Amino acid sequence: MLLCACASAPVQQVSPRLFSSAPRDYSLPNDSWSAEMRRLYDQYDQEPGGGGRWKRLPSYNRFLKYATAGGQCLSRLVQSRARLFTRNIKEPGAAFEYAIFINEEEKRAVCVFQAGHLLEGPPGHVHGGAIATIIDNVTGACATYISGFVLTANLNINYCSPISLGSVVLVDCAVDRVEGRKTWVSCRITSADGSKLHTEATGLFVSVGVSHLFTG
């Protein structure tokens, strides 16, 4: 970023983040990511900004980060202290590190997920509720992308093998069918190389109007 206080002052080169009010995009790589996490991310982020098959979803700490009403940010008007469950810990690598990629043509979403040490359930392994959370998030994003605003009506999960803390896994979802307001999504979590099945799930999402999101 180039800053120039007045015409006669020297132009100063500063860090882009120093004076930037742009919200942090949590889906971008950071130093906590392992080489495996970065490799998988790069694999799906083949053509950033281009016409590639996979499109990375930016991820902020509020779902309604940019939505406005009457010129005001909804994220400031509605429960201003609220934070998205998966993005409420600032320390990189401590909890949910993930990036979601959408393939609209195939109605699929994949998520590269590195589980941090704050997600412990059984010793050294990821809590089942944290696994359910990432599944809800990725299947929900997949359903939202295809069907618009939805809420999770039903989630069924089979935990097949534990996920080690710090490991990187792939969350692979697909929309199976859409009927009226209902969207069914299936999901598998595997090891990064696909050889080990950790979790299988199915979810039903029901389309709702925006007002239902606020009033329930």
Ligand X SMILES: CCCCCCCCCC(=O)SCCNC(=O)CCNC(=O)[C@H](O)C(C)(C)COP(=O)(O)OP(=O)(O)OC[C@H]1O[C@@H](n2cnc3c(N)ncnc32)[C@H](O)[C@@H]1OP(=O)(O)O
Binding interface with ligand X (CB under 6 A)? 57, 136-137, 140-141, 144, 151-154, 180-182, 204, 206, 208
Cβ distance to ligand X smaller for residue 84 or 125: 84
Maximum Cα–Cα distance for the chain, whole Å? 67
Kindly tell me which of 64 and 119 has the beta carbon lying closer to ligand X.
Answer: 64
Supply the minimum distance, in Å, between the C-beta of residue 118 and ligand X: 20
All residues at 6 or more sequence positions from 142 whose CB lies less than 8 Å from its CB, including other chains:
102, 107, 108, 109, 173, 174, 175, 185
- Concerning whether 136 is annotated as a catalytic residue, the answer is yes
Q: What are the Cα distances from residue 177, in Å, to 108, 139, 215? A: 12, 13, 28
Q: Report the residue number, 83 or 125, with the smaller CB distance to ligand X.
A: 83
Closer residue to ligand X, CB minimum distance, 33 or 145: 145
Residue closer to ligand X by CB (options 57, 89) is: 57
CA dihedral sign, ordered 198, 203, 209, 211: negative
CA distances from 108 to 37, 54, 141 (A): 20, 9, 10
**Structure token pair of residue 142:** 């997949």
Sheet strands (E) in 119-163: 150-159
Residue 144: CB atoms within 10 A of its CB come to 19
Task: Select from 85, 64, 63 the least CA-distant residue to 73.
Answer: 64
Choose the catalytic residue: 136, 172, 176, 193: 136
- Give least dist CB 20 to ligand X, A: 23
- Tell me the closest approach of the beta carbon of residue 196 to ligand X, in angstroms: 26
| Residue in the shown chain whose Cβ atom is closest to ligand X | 140
CB of 136 to ligand X, least distance (A): 5
What separation in angstroms does the CA of 168 have from each of 67, 79, 155?
A: 32, 33, 23
Q: How far apart are CA 98 and CA 171, in angstroms?
A: 10
For residue 92, the minimal CB distance to ligand X (Å) is: 20
Active-site annotation, residues: 136
